[in-house]
Amino acid sequence: MESELDAQKGGQELSNFDRLGRHLSETGIARSLLSAFRDAHNRGEHSSARMREVVAARLAELRKERAGRENQET
């Protein structure tokens, strides 16, 4: 009944998060969001705050990149 995926991870069935992770790119924000969601989920916490932290961090990163580019131009 179980597919070959279920036999992975040392015989343990892959979690849904593991399964989804296999389909996400290594560098995109989707993976960071999945990671934050999973951490919150596993701790029984609300995930929205953790995901907003990821967004805020990425926003800060983008601001910094833009500010850096602007400084270079000027």
Question: Which residues of this protein are in contact with another protein, per CB under 8 A?
Answer: 1-3, 5-6, 16-17, 19-25, 28-30, 33-34, 37, 41, 47-48, 51-52, 55, 58-59, 62-63, 66, 70, 73-74
Give the shortest CB-43-to-another protein separation in angstroms. Answer: 13
10 vs 71, beta carbon nearer another protein? 71
The helix (H) or strand (E) run that includes residue 4 is: none
Helical residues (DSSP H) of 1-74, grouped into ranges = 16-21, 29-42, 47-73
Residue 53 to residue 50: CA distance in whole angstroms = 5
